[in-house]
A = this chain, B = another copy of it.
Amino acid sequence: MDAVPARPARIQDVAAAAGVSVSTVSNVLNRPERVNARTAERVRVAVAALDYVPHPGAAGLRTGRASAIGLVLPDVTNSFYARIARGAADAAYDHGYSLVLCHSGDAPEREQGYFSMLVEQRAVGVVVVPLSADPGRLARLRERGIPLVLADRAMPDRDGCSASVDDIAGGRIAVQHLLDSGARDILVVNGERGIRQCADRYQGARQAVRSRREARLGQVVAEEMTVAYGAEIARGLEDLPDGVFCTNDFLAAGLCRGLTERGVRIPEDVQVVGYGDLDIASFGATTLTTVRQPVEDLGRAAVEMLLDEIEARADHLHETRVFAPGLVLRDSTRTGAPASSA
Protein backbone atom coordinates (compact mmCIF):
# COMPACT_ATOMS: atom_id res chain seq x y z
CA MET A 1 0.00 0.00 0.00
CA ASP A 2 3.03 2.27 -0.38
CA ALA A 3 3.50 2.91 -4.11
CA VAL A 4 0.84 3.29 -6.79
CA PRO A 5 1.30 0.39 -9.25
CA ALA A 6 2.17 1.27 -12.84
CA ARG A 7 -0.94 -0.47 -14.23
CA PRO A 8 -4.34 0.77 -13.04
CA ALA A 9 -5.24 -0.82 -9.69
CA ARG A 10 -7.78 -3.64 -9.80
CA ILE A 11 -10.41 -4.47 -7.24
CA GLN A 12 -8.21 -7.45 -6.20
CA ASP A 13 -5.40 -5.05 -5.34
CA VAL A 14 -7.75 -3.05 -3.15
CA ALA A 15 -9.00 -6.22 -1.45
CA ALA A 16 -5.43 -7.39 -0.78
CA ALA A 17 -4.34 -4.00 0.52
CA ALA A 18 -7.33 -3.75 2.84
CA GLY A 19 -7.16 -7.38 3.91
CA VAL A 20 -10.75 -8.12 2.90
CA SER A 21 -12.51 -10.10 0.18
CA VAL A 22 -13.30 -8.71 -3.27
CA SER A 23 -17.00 -8.85 -2.53
CA THR A 24 -16.48 -6.76 0.60
CA VAL A 25 -14.77 -4.10 -1.51
CA SER A 26 -17.65 -4.27 -3.94
CA ASN A 27 -20.12 -3.91 -1.09
CA VAL A 28 -18.31 -0.88 0.28
CA LEU A 29 -18.47 0.72 -3.14
CA ASN A 30 -21.99 -0.27 -4.07
CA ARG A 31 -23.95 -1.19 -0.93
CA PRO A 32 -22.11 0.51 1.95
CA GLU A 33 -25.03 -0.14 4.32
CA ARG A 34 -24.05 -3.83 4.37
CA VAL A 35 -20.52 -3.23 5.66
CA ASN A 36 -19.47 -2.21 9.16
CA ALA A 37 -17.91 1.21 9.49
CA ARG A 38 -14.37 0.14 10.41
CA THR A 39 -14.07 -2.27 7.50
CA ALA A 40 -15.53 0.30 5.13
CA GLU A 41 -12.98 2.87 6.29
CA ARG A 42 -10.12 0.40 5.70
CA VAL A 43 -11.37 -0.21 2.16
CA ARG A 44 -11.72 3.50 1.45
CA VAL A 45 -8.15 4.14 2.58
CA ALA A 46 -6.95 1.40 0.23
CA VAL A 47 -9.06 2.79 -2.66
CA ALA A 48 -7.51 6.22 -2.15
CA ALA A 49 -3.95 4.92 -1.71
CA LEU A 50 -4.13 2.82 -4.87
CA ASP A 51 -5.96 5.49 -6.89
CA TYR A 52 -8.43 2.74 -7.71
CA VAL A 53 -11.03 3.64 -10.36
CA PRO A 54 -14.01 1.28 -10.37
CA HIS A 55 -15.13 -0.16 -13.68
CA PRO A 56 -17.40 1.93 -15.87
CA GLY A 57 -20.85 2.08 -14.44
CA ALA A 58 -19.52 1.05 -11.07
CA ALA A 59 -18.56 4.67 -10.47
CA GLY A 60 -22.21 5.41 -11.00
CA LEU A 61 -23.38 2.45 -8.95
CA ARG A 62 -21.16 3.49 -6.09
CA THR A 63 -23.06 6.72 -5.71
CA GLY A 64 -26.29 5.01 -6.60
CA ARG A 65 -26.42 6.30 -10.16
CA ALA A 66 -24.97 5.84 -13.61
CA SER A 67 -23.52 8.89 -15.26
CA ALA A 68 -24.32 9.35 -18.94
CA ILE A 69 -27.04 11.55 -20.38
CA GLY A 70 -27.96 11.42 -24.06
CA LEU A 71 -28.56 14.55 -26.11
CA VAL A 72 -30.39 13.77 -29.35
CA LEU A 73 -30.50 16.66 -31.80
CA PRO A 74 -30.97 17.07 -35.55
CA ASP A 75 -27.71 18.79 -36.50
CA VAL A 76 -24.95 20.14 -34.28
CA THR A 77 -23.62 22.37 -37.07
CA ASN A 78 -26.83 24.41 -36.93
CA SER A 79 -25.90 27.23 -34.54
CA PHE A 80 -29.25 27.05 -32.75
CA TYR A 81 -28.75 23.39 -31.84
CA ALA A 82 -25.07 23.99 -31.08
CA ARG A 83 -26.12 26.57 -28.48
CA ILE A 84 -28.50 24.02 -26.93
CA ALA A 85 -25.65 21.49 -26.88
CA ARG A 86 -23.37 23.97 -25.17
CA GLY A 87 -25.88 24.74 -22.43
CA ALA A 88 -26.58 21.04 -21.95
CA ALA A 89 -22.87 20.11 -21.86
CA ASP A 90 -22.11 22.80 -19.31
CA ALA A 91 -24.98 21.74 -17.05
CA ALA A 92 -24.05 18.05 -17.32
CA TYR A 93 -20.44 18.83 -16.47
CA ASP A 94 -21.42 20.94 -13.48
CA HIS A 95 -23.33 17.96 -12.09
CA GLY A 96 -20.67 15.35 -12.86
CA TYR A 97 -22.50 13.67 -15.74
CA SER A 98 -21.19 13.00 -19.20
CA LEU A 99 -23.21 14.09 -22.22
CA VAL A 100 -23.44 11.69 -25.16
CA LEU A 101 -23.87 13.64 -28.39
CA CYS A 102 -26.41 11.92 -30.65
CA HIS A 103 -26.53 13.53 -34.04
CA SER A 104 -29.78 12.27 -35.54
CA GLY A 105 -29.57 14.14 -38.84
CA ASP A 106 -33.37 14.26 -38.50
CA ALA A 107 -33.54 10.63 -39.72
CA PRO A 108 -36.07 8.55 -37.72
CA GLU A 109 -34.10 5.30 -38.02
CA ARG A 110 -30.95 7.06 -36.87
CA GLU A 111 -32.79 8.55 -33.89
CA GLN A 112 -34.14 5.10 -33.08
CA GLY A 113 -30.64 3.66 -33.37
CA TYR A 114 -29.38 6.18 -30.86
CA PHE A 115 -32.24 5.40 -28.49
CA SER A 116 -31.26 1.73 -28.58
CA MET A 117 -27.63 2.59 -27.95
CA LEU A 118 -28.58 4.79 -25.00
CA VAL A 119 -30.76 2.05 -23.51
CA GLU A 120 -27.99 -0.53 -23.94
CA GLN A 121 -25.47 1.73 -22.31
CA ARG A 122 -27.93 2.40 -19.47
CA ALA A 123 -27.94 6.14 -19.98
CA VAL A 124 -29.75 7.67 -17.03
CA GLY A 125 -31.83 9.93 -19.22
CA VAL A 126 -32.17 11.66 -22.53
CA VAL A 127 -32.71 15.23 -23.68
CA VAL A 128 -34.36 15.24 -27.10
CA VAL A 129 -34.48 18.23 -29.42
CA PRO A 130 -37.17 17.06 -31.81
CA LEU A 131 -37.53 18.27 -35.35
CA SER A 132 -40.00 15.79 -36.73
CA ALA A 133 -39.76 13.28 -33.87
CA ASP A 134 -43.15 11.62 -33.63
CA PRO A 135 -44.73 11.38 -30.17
CA GLY A 136 -45.10 7.59 -30.52
CA ARG A 137 -41.35 7.15 -30.79
CA LEU A 138 -40.77 9.33 -27.75
CA ALA A 139 -43.41 7.38 -25.83
CA ARG A 140 -41.67 4.10 -26.67
CA LEU A 141 -38.41 5.44 -25.25
CA ARG A 142 -40.26 6.36 -22.07
CA GLU A 143 -41.68 2.85 -21.91
CA ARG A 144 -38.14 1.53 -21.88
CA GLY A 145 -37.81 3.29 -18.55
CA ILE A 146 -35.53 6.14 -19.54
CA PRO A 147 -36.53 9.60 -18.33
CA LEU A 148 -36.87 11.99 -21.23
CA VAL A 149 -36.96 15.78 -21.41
CA LEU A 150 -37.81 17.77 -24.52
CA ALA A 151 -35.88 20.91 -25.45
CA ASP A 152 -37.21 23.54 -27.87
CA ARG A 153 -40.66 21.93 -27.79
CA ALA A 154 -43.28 22.30 -25.11
CA MET A 155 -44.95 19.13 -23.80
CA PRO A 156 -47.92 18.75 -21.42
CA ASP A 157 -46.34 18.25 -18.02
CA ARG A 158 -48.20 14.99 -17.44
CA ASP A 159 -45.90 13.52 -20.14
CA GLY A 160 -42.65 14.87 -18.80
CA CYS A 161 -40.50 17.96 -18.53
CA SER A 162 -39.85 20.32 -21.39
CA ALA A 163 -37.98 23.58 -21.98
CA SER A 164 -39.01 25.86 -24.80
CA VAL A 165 -39.12 29.49 -25.85
CA ASP A 166 -42.37 31.42 -26.02
CA ASP A 167 -42.58 32.16 -29.75
CA ILE A 168 -45.90 33.94 -29.42
CA ALA A 169 -44.26 36.43 -27.05
CA GLY A 170 -41.37 36.70 -29.52
CA GLY A 171 -43.66 37.70 -32.37
CA ARG A 172 -45.50 40.08 -30.09
CA ILE A 173 -42.42 42.01 -28.91
CA ALA A 174 -41.05 42.20 -32.47
CA VAL A 175 -44.18 43.84 -33.84
CA GLN A 176 -44.78 45.85 -30.66
CA HIS A 177 -41.35 47.38 -31.25
CA LEU A 178 -42.22 48.27 -34.86
CA LEU A 179 -45.43 49.92 -33.65
CA ASP A 180 -43.61 51.76 -30.85
CA SER A 181 -41.11 53.03 -33.45
CA GLY A 182 -43.88 54.53 -35.53
CA ALA A 183 -44.69 51.83 -38.08
CA ARG A 184 -48.40 51.32 -38.84
CA ASP A 185 -48.51 49.20 -41.97
CA ILE A 186 -46.91 45.95 -40.84
CA LEU A 187 -45.93 43.06 -43.09
CA VAL A 188 -44.97 39.66 -41.69
CA VAL A 189 -42.60 37.70 -43.93
CA ASN A 190 -43.15 34.18 -42.68
CA GLY A 191 -42.26 30.55 -43.31
CA GLU A 192 -44.77 27.80 -44.01
CA ARG A 193 -47.74 27.90 -41.65
CA GLY A 194 -47.23 24.21 -40.86
CA ILE A 195 -44.08 25.10 -38.94
CA ARG A 196 -45.20 25.55 -35.35
CA GLN A 197 -42.73 28.35 -34.62
CA CYS A 198 -43.91 30.31 -37.67
CA ALA A 199 -47.55 30.01 -36.68
CA ASP A 200 -46.74 31.10 -33.11
CA ARG A 201 -44.67 34.10 -34.19
CA TYR A 202 -47.46 35.23 -36.49
CA GLN A 203 -49.99 34.85 -33.72
CA GLY A 204 -47.86 37.11 -31.53
CA ALA A 205 -47.69 39.66 -34.36
CA ARG A 206 -51.49 39.62 -34.60
CA GLN A 207 -51.83 40.15 -30.86
CA ALA A 208 -49.59 43.23 -31.03
CA VAL A 209 -51.43 44.75 -33.99
CA ARG A 210 -54.85 44.07 -32.49
CA SER A 211 -53.93 46.29 -29.53
CA ARG A 212 -53.32 49.29 -31.84
CA ARG A 213 -56.44 50.46 -33.66
CA GLU A 214 -54.76 52.34 -36.52
CA ALA A 215 -52.35 49.53 -37.42
CA ARG A 216 -52.73 47.03 -40.26
CA LEU A 217 -51.16 43.61 -40.71
CA GLY A 218 -50.34 41.67 -43.88
CA GLN A 219 -48.45 38.42 -44.45
CA VAL A 220 -46.28 36.94 -47.19
CA VAL A 221 -45.18 33.32 -46.96
CA ALA A 222 -41.68 32.50 -48.26
CA GLU A 223 -41.16 29.13 -49.89
CA GLU A 224 -37.91 28.71 -47.96
CA MET A 225 -36.65 30.79 -45.04
CA THR A 226 -33.43 31.83 -46.78
CA VAL A 227 -31.57 35.01 -47.71
CA ALA A 228 -32.39 34.42 -51.38
CA TYR A 229 -36.15 34.21 -50.78
CA GLY A 230 -36.04 37.26 -48.51
CA ALA A 231 -34.36 39.27 -51.27
CA GLU A 232 -36.83 38.01 -53.87
CA ILE A 233 -39.79 39.05 -51.72
CA ALA A 234 -38.27 42.54 -51.32
CA ARG A 235 -37.94 42.88 -55.09
CA GLY A 236 -41.54 41.85 -55.66
CA LEU A 237 -43.27 44.13 -53.12
CA GLU A 238 -45.59 46.62 -54.80
CA ASP A 239 -46.91 48.71 -51.92
CA LEU A 240 -44.15 49.13 -49.41
CA PRO A 241 -45.11 48.61 -45.76
CA ASP A 242 -43.40 50.83 -43.18
CA GLY A 243 -42.55 47.92 -40.88
CA VAL A 244 -41.58 44.33 -41.69
CA PHE A 245 -41.26 41.47 -39.23
CA CYS A 246 -39.38 38.51 -40.72
CA THR A 247 -39.75 35.31 -38.74
CA ASN A 248 -36.08 34.48 -39.11
CA ASP A 249 -32.87 36.45 -39.63
CA PHE A 250 -32.07 34.89 -43.01
CA LEU A 251 -35.30 36.25 -44.47
CA ALA A 252 -34.66 39.60 -42.78
CA ALA A 253 -31.09 39.89 -44.13
CA GLY A 254 -32.28 39.02 -47.63
CA LEU A 255 -35.17 41.45 -47.36
CA CYS A 256 -32.81 44.26 -46.32
CA ARG A 257 -30.52 43.49 -49.22
CA GLY A 258 -33.39 43.44 -51.72
CA LEU A 259 -34.86 46.69 -50.39
CA THR A 260 -31.46 48.42 -50.41
CA GLU A 261 -30.95 47.37 -54.03
CA ARG A 262 -34.26 49.14 -54.83
CA GLY A 263 -33.04 52.32 -53.17
CA VAL A 264 -35.33 51.89 -50.19
CA ARG A 265 -33.72 53.26 -47.03
CA ILE A 266 -33.68 51.17 -43.85
CA PRO A 267 -34.87 52.22 -41.30
CA GLU A 268 -36.00 55.62 -42.67
CA ASP A 269 -38.48 54.23 -45.22
CA VAL A 270 -38.99 50.71 -43.92
CA GLN A 271 -38.09 49.30 -40.52
CA VAL A 272 -37.18 45.61 -40.30
CA VAL A 273 -37.10 43.18 -37.37
CA GLY A 274 -35.66 39.67 -37.67
CA TYR A 275 -35.81 36.64 -35.40
CA GLY A 276 -33.11 34.50 -33.85
CA ASP A 277 -30.10 36.81 -33.47
CA LEU A 278 -28.03 34.59 -35.72
CA ASP A 279 -24.52 35.65 -36.80
CA ILE A 280 -25.98 37.14 -39.94
CA ALA A 281 -27.93 39.67 -37.86
CA SER A 282 -24.74 41.48 -36.88
CA PHE A 283 -22.66 40.91 -40.02
CA GLY A 284 -24.81 42.26 -42.85
CA ALA A 285 -24.50 45.71 -44.43
CA THR A 286 -27.56 46.66 -42.34
CA THR A 287 -27.36 45.15 -38.88
CA LEU A 288 -30.65 43.70 -37.73
CA THR A 289 -32.89 44.47 -34.82
CA THR A 290 -33.99 40.96 -33.91
CA VAL A 291 -35.55 38.69 -31.32
CA ARG A 292 -33.01 36.78 -29.26
CA GLN A 293 -33.93 33.45 -27.71
CA PRO A 294 -32.15 32.22 -24.57
CA VAL A 295 -31.06 29.05 -26.36
CA GLU A 296 -28.23 27.95 -24.04
CA ASP A 297 -30.78 28.19 -21.23
CA LEU A 298 -32.96 25.61 -23.00
CA GLY A 299 -30.14 23.06 -22.97
CA ARG A 300 -29.15 23.85 -19.41
CA ALA A 301 -32.72 23.77 -18.09
CA ALA A 302 -33.47 20.51 -19.91
CA VAL A 303 -30.47 18.79 -18.32
CA GLU A 304 -31.29 20.17 -14.88
CA MET A 305 -34.91 19.05 -15.03
CA LEU A 306 -33.72 15.63 -16.20
CA LEU A 307 -31.29 15.33 -13.29
CA ASP A 308 -34.01 16.38 -10.87
CA GLU A 309 -36.19 13.61 -12.25
CA ILE A 310 -33.35 11.09 -11.90
CA GLU A 311 -32.10 12.14 -8.49
CA ALA A 312 -35.21 13.36 -6.70
CA ARG A 313 -37.41 10.54 -8.05
CA ALA A 314 -40.56 10.53 -5.93
CA ASP A 315 -40.16 14.21 -5.08
CA HIS A 316 -39.88 15.20 -8.73
CA LEU A 317 -42.71 17.05 -10.45
CA HIS A 318 -42.74 17.42 -14.21
CA GLU A 319 -42.47 20.99 -15.43
CA THR A 320 -43.24 22.77 -18.69
CA ARG A 321 -40.70 25.58 -18.62
CA VAL A 322 -41.19 28.36 -21.14
CA PHE A 323 -38.48 30.99 -21.59
CA ALA A 324 -39.18 34.56 -22.66
CA PRO A 325 -37.25 35.93 -25.64
CA GLY A 326 -35.86 39.47 -25.71
CA LEU A 327 -35.27 42.16 -28.28
CA VAL A 328 -31.81 43.18 -29.56
CA LEU A 329 -31.82 46.69 -31.02
CA ARG A 330 -29.65 47.41 -34.07
CA ASP A 331 -29.70 49.56 -37.22
CA SER A 332 -32.72 48.13 -39.04
CA THR A 333 -35.22 49.93 -36.81
CA ARG A 334 -35.28 53.50 -35.53
CA THR A 335 -33.14 53.90 -32.47
CA GLY A 336 -34.16 56.20 -29.68
CA ALA A 337 -37.71 54.92 -29.89
CA PRO A 338 -38.85 53.15 -26.73
CA ALA A 339 -38.31 49.42 -27.12
CA SER A 340 -40.58 46.96 -25.43
CA SER A 341 -39.19 43.83 -23.94
CA ALA A 342 -40.66 40.51 -22.88
Which residue among A8, A59, A67, A100 has the maximum number of chain B CB atoms within 10 Å of its CB?
A100
Across the interface, which residues of B come within 8 angstroms of A75, CB to CB?
86
Cβ-defined partner of A77 (8 Å) among B60, B86, B101: B86
Cβ–Cβ contact B55 & A61, under 8 A: yes
Query: What chain B residues lie within 8 Å of A284 (beta carbons)?
Result: 283-285
Of all chain B residues, the one with the shortest Cβ separation from A118 is B98
Residue tally, chain A, CB below 8 Å to B = 51
Q: Does A17 contact B (CB under 8 A)?
A: no
**Chain B hits for A68, CB < 8 A:** 56, 68, 98, 100, 121
Q: Which of chain B's residues have a CB closer than 8 A to the CB of A66?
A: 55-56
CA distance A101 to B68 in the complex (A): 11
Q: Does B113 contact A59, Cβ atoms closer than 8 Å?
A: no
Out of B53, B82, B105, B114, which one reaches A76, CB within 8 Å? B82
* Given A56-B57, A86-B77, A100-B100, also A121-B67 (CB < 8 A): yes
Bound Cα distance from A301 to B94, whole angstroms: 30
Task: Find the B residue at minimum CB distance from A83.
Answer: B77
A268 sits at the interface (CB 8 A): no
Cβ contact of A100, chosen from B61, B101, B280, cutoff 8 A: B101
Closest B-chain residue to A80, C-beta based? B77
As a 0/1 sequence over residues 91 to 111 of chain A, the CB contacts with chain B under 8 angstroms (1 = contact) are: 001001011111101000010
Contact with B along A264-291 (1 / 0, CB 8 A): 0000000000000001100111000000
A77 CB, nearest partner CB in chain B, Å? 5
Residues A96 and B117 in contact, CB atoms below 8 Å apart: yes
Closest Cβ neighbor of A296 among chain B residues: B77
B117 touches A53 (CB 8 A): no
Known: A89-B101, A99-B101, A117-B98. A60 touches B53 (CB 8 A): no
* A56-B68, A93-B103, A93-B114 known, 9 other contacts, Cβ within 8 Å: A53-B120, A56-B56, A68-B98, A76-B85, A98-B102, A98-B117, A100-B100, A227-B283, A285-B285
Q: List 11 A-B contacts (CB under 8 A).
A: A55-B61, A68-B98, A68-B121, A75-B86, A77-B85, A77-B86, A85-B103, A89-B101, A93-B102, A253-B283, A284-B284
Residues on A lying within 8 angstroms of B by beta carbon are 8, 53, 55-61, 66-68, 71, 75-77, 79, 82-83, 85-86, 89-90, 93, 96, 98-103, 105, 110, 113-114, 117-122, 144-145, 227, 253, 257, 279-280, 283-285
Closest 6 CB pairs of A and B: A56-B57, A89-B103, A57-B57, A56-B122, A101-B101, A77-B82
